[in-house]
Amino acid sequence: MPALIDYLIAIAPAGILALCLLWLIPGTEIAGRTAIYILFFLLARDAMGPHGFWQLTASSLSLTAPSGVLLGLAAICVGLCLMVWRFEPLLCAQVTYWKQGHLLRSVSWGLAGAVFIGCVVLALKAVSGMASVTGGGWCLDWAVLIFALAGNAFEELMFRGVLQGRLAQQLSPMRAIAIPALLFSLCHAWLAIVVTGIGAPILVFTLIEGLVAGFVYWRAGLVAAVLAHGLAIYGLAVGLY
């Protein structure tokens, strides 16, 4: 997979800098370490566009990378999640994976969150006059599905699990949901304005996505938030809305 190798070589210098910072910043400095993880992930995500792994418009997302590349990227994201879970116990101390051991409840909330995001997107397209890309019928693309879930799991771990989980210890549930959601949208500004030039539609979509994922996390934990986020991106990528 030469394309994946070229991509990894391109982001390697930033990865080395991030590792150096993580080595120097004490493990007790949760805010600083969280910021490093988020900044590196943002760079790695935004670099996928110039390498031709996806194409983004104001109304659609197409994952153009071969299945092998998508699965390789998914494996890397899972590895990042496992690394944080294994070596960052303080970061993960407040993470709720699912509420009261009810995994089925988490799955149900995740599915409901994804459906809600899809409905909101369809409503926004109708109001703004954007053409829907639906019409190809239902299709199940396992590589895209795995990438959508695994690729967004790290974002949810950081924004919802780590950040929202800690804010919830000090703030009201609504503020703990809103702050990571706004930051999540802001972290897409470079992608929206510079990388793609699409602008506000990306920021609006990611804000809605962040609010829904945050509410789902509050009600049912990280598994639910990953499902809501990942399945929403999958639906967009395969043209369900």
- For residue 135, the model assigns a pLDDT of 46
* Statement: residue 134 has pLDDT above 70: no
- The percent of the chain in helix, strand and coil, each rounded to the nearest 5, is 70, 0, 25
Q: What is the mean pLDDT of residues 120-136?
A: 70
What tokens does 115 get?
């459906």
Q: What is the mean pLDDT of residues 87-115?
A: 88
Q: What is the mean pLDDT of residues 32-41?
A: 95
Output phi, psi for 13, to 5 deg. -60, -40
What is the chain's mean pLDDT, rounded? 90
Distance between CA 168 and CA 111 in Å, rounded? 23
Q: Is 206 exposed, middle or buried (0-12, 13-18, 19+ CB in 10 A)?
A: buried
* Statement: residue 158 has pLDDT above 50: yes
CA dihedral 32, 205, 179, 234 (to 10 degrees): -60
Number of independent structural domains in the chain: 1
* Statement: residue 132 has pLDDT above 60: no
Q: Is the whole model's pTM more than 0.85, yes or no?
A: yes
* Statement: residue 131 has pLDDT above 90: no
pLDDT tens string 185-234: 999 999 889 888 888 888 999 999 999 999 999 999 999 999 999 999 99
Is 73 or 99 the better-scoring residue by pLDDT?
73
Q: In the Cβ-directed half-sphere of 161, how many Cα atoms lie within 13 Å? A: 27
Q: Which of 68-77, 100-109, 232-241 has the lowest mean pLDDT?
A: 100-109
Q: What is the DSSP string of 76-140?
A: HHHHHHHHHHHH-TTTTTT--SSGGG-HHHHHHHHHHHHHHHHHHHHHHHHHHTPPP---S----
Q: 96: left (phi > 0), else alpha (psi -120 to 50), else beta?
A: beta
- For residue 130, the model assigns a pLDDT of 64
Amino acid identity, position 120: V
Which residues have CB under 8 Å from 52's CB, separation 6+?
Answer: 3, 64, 65
Q: What percent of the chain has pLDDT over 70?
A: 95
- For residue 129, the model assigns a pLDDT of 66
What tokens does 65 get?
């990378």
- For residue 3, the model assigns a pLDDT of 87
* Statement: residue 101 has pLDDT above 70: no
* Statement: residue 139 has pLDDT above 70: no
Which residues have CB under 8 Å from 9's CB, separation 6+?
Answer: none
Domain that holds residue 190: 2-237
Q: Is the Cβ–Cβ distance between 35 and 163 less than 8 Å?
A: no
* Statement: residue 33 has pLDDT above 80: yes
Output phi, psi for 62, to 5 deg. -120, 125
